[in-house]
């Protein structure tokens, strides 16, 4: 069940931020949210999204530290877990790209996050800038 209803918004936006939103959504909900955002963004607008990307850095970090071992792949390319009472998730790069492109967006910027001690990271979560196509 979705906890949001963006269809009632009758405006369009140049810039939309979704910070730490996609780290707490099941794949279907994340896709629905992206579709809703697609209807709100202006043709030349952009979206700034943060999430967790499950990549080789994640696996190395998890194996070396034992952290984030509760993230379990529940759907193809989608990993879900709980920490204390909070649900969180991560996506493989290919699944995240597929979700984004299926909703009418193109990734124009990607920066790795420090959440899994990814080298050269400047922010905690992985960050993306998307534009509509």
Distances in Å between the alpha carbon of 97 and those of 3, 64, 65, 68?
Answer: 24, 27, 28, 22
What does each of the 133 residues of the chain score in pLDDT, given as a tens digit?
445 667 777 789 999 999 999 999 999 999 999 999 999 999 999 999 999 999 999 999 999 999 888 889 999 999 999 877 678 999 999 999 999 999 999 999 999 999 999 999 999 999 999 999 9
Return the structure tokens found at 124: 């905690």
Please tell me the predicted confidence (pLDDT) of residue 1: 42
Pick the closest to residue 123 from 53, 32, 33, 44 (CA basis).
53
State how far the Cα of 54 lies from the Cα of 68, in Å rounded to an integer: 11
Q: What is the phi-psi region of residue 99: left when phi exceeds 0, alpha when psi lies from -120 to 50, beta otherwise?
A: alpha
Give the span between the Cα atoms of 7 and 2, in whole angstroms.
Answer: 12
pLDDT at 4: 63
What would you measure as the largest C-alpha separation in the chain, in angstroms?
49
Q: Whole-angstrom Cα distance, residue 42 to residue 15?
A: 8
**What pTM value is reported for the model?**
0.90
Tokens at 104, concatenated: 């009418």
Q: How far is it, in rounded angstroms, from Cα 19 to Cα 68? A: 20
Residue pair 53/46 in contact (Cβ under 8 Å)? The answer is: no
């Amino acid at each position: 069940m979705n906890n949001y209803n963006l269809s009632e918004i009758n405006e369009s936006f140049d810039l939309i931020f979704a910070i730490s939103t996609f780290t707490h959504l099941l794949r279907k909900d994340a896709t629905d949210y992206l579709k809703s955002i697609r209807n709100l963004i202006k043709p030349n607008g952009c979206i700034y999204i943060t999430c967790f990307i499950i990549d080789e850095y994640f696996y190395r970090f998890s194996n070396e530290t034992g952290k984030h071992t509760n993230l379990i792949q529940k759907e193809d390319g989608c990993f879900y877990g709980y920490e204390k009472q909070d649900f969180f998730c991560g996506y493989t790069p290919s699944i995240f790209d597929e979700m984004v492109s299926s909703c009418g967006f193109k990734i124009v910027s990607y920066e790795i996050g420090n959440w899994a001690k990814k080298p050269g990271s400047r922010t905690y979560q992985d960050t993306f800038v998307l534009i509509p196509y």
